Amino acid sequence: MRQTTAFLGWWIGFLSLLYAQVREPDPRVPVYRNPVLKFQPLAMIDPFQYTLHLGLELPTSASSSFQLEGGWVFGHFGETEPFGTTEEDFSQTGFKARLQWREYFLSEKPPTKPTYTLVGGYVAFQGGFQYYLQNLGQIDTSGIYPPPSNPMPLGPYERAIQAFSFSCLLGYQAQLGTRFICDLFTGIGVRYTQHNWKPIAPPHQYAADLTPVGDFILRRGGRPIPHIGLSLGWIFR
């Protein structure tokens, strides 16, 4: 009982310390809460899933906001030849959607220059959904079945991957000039992933020759996931 009381007291004190830093900005310096259009450049060079990832942050108060995000997965790099197919047989498309709520810890220092959106450190809670459709072509059965069997291609195989996630993030958003922002974040979450095969799951002989998305990341079942990223943004005015 004493340990539980001490634990709750520690958290209450910690949260009180954080919220004690939240204050109204100096009225002598203009402060605005404008929406921000964001872009994640690192997602464009993810070798497993080239993604055009955009977001829109909408401030809802002096210290909080909602952020809507969406991504289109349009390609990949360096795929092996899954199922013994040629590289041209494999294709992958998909999309991502996220909804994020943020609470900023406003600085006690009065602003020295105009700010046009929410800036500073923040904590965020994020829910997400991902969907991928992979066309894996046909299986070359040569060398699998002993003579006198007649090898023949099997397939084509398709795999649909869908994943649900929930995460907690810590980040810092800075205003660059009067129009741009830089948003750095990290965190951890949990994700549950499902795979659906058509027409059926592939033979076990190919279990070690699949694709990075689905067999390295986004594997079936529930798993913890780390987050680290960078967003660049344009402030609407």
Q: Is the pTM of this model over 0.85?
A: no
pLDDT of residue 206: 55
| Rounded-to-integer distance, Cα 113 and Cα 192, Å | 44
Per DSSP, the three-state class of 40 is coil
DSSP lists the bridge partners of residue 161 as: 132, 195
Mean pLDDT confidence for 4-32: 53
Burial of 204-225, coded b for 16+ CB within 10 Å and e otherwise, reads eeeeeebbbbbbebbeeeeeeb
Tens digits of residue pLDDT in 163-205:
999 999 999 999 998 899 999 999 999 999 999 988 777 665 5
Strands (E), 41-119: 50-59, 64-75, 91-105
Nearest CA to 93 out of 227, 207, 213, 219 is that of 213
pLDDT of residue 106: 74
Is the peptide bond preceding residue 27 cis, with omega within 30 degrees of 0?
no
| Rounded-to-integer distance, Cα 170 and Cα 70, Å | 20
pLDDT surpasses 80 at 149: no
Tens digits of residue pLDDT in 104-130:
997 666 667 788 999 999 999 999 999
pLDDT band for position 30 (cuts 50, 70, 90): low
| Rounded-to-integer distance, Cα 43 and Cα 49, Å | 8
Distance from the Cα of residue 9 to its chain's centroid:
34
- The residue segments making up the domain with residue 195 are 2-235
pLDDT of residue 150: 53
pLDDT of residue 83: 44
- List of residues 6+ apart from 200 with CB closer than 8 A: none
Burial of 109-134, coded b for 16+ CB within 10 Å and e otherwise, reads eeeeeebbbbbbebebebebebebbb
Nearest CA to 87 out of 144, 136, 133 is that of 136
- List of residues 6+ apart from 121 with CB closer than 8 A: 104, 105, 170, 171, 172
Q: How many domains does the chain have?
A: 1
Nearest CA to 117 out of 2, 231, 3, 1 is that of 231
Tokens (6 digits) for 124: 């965020």
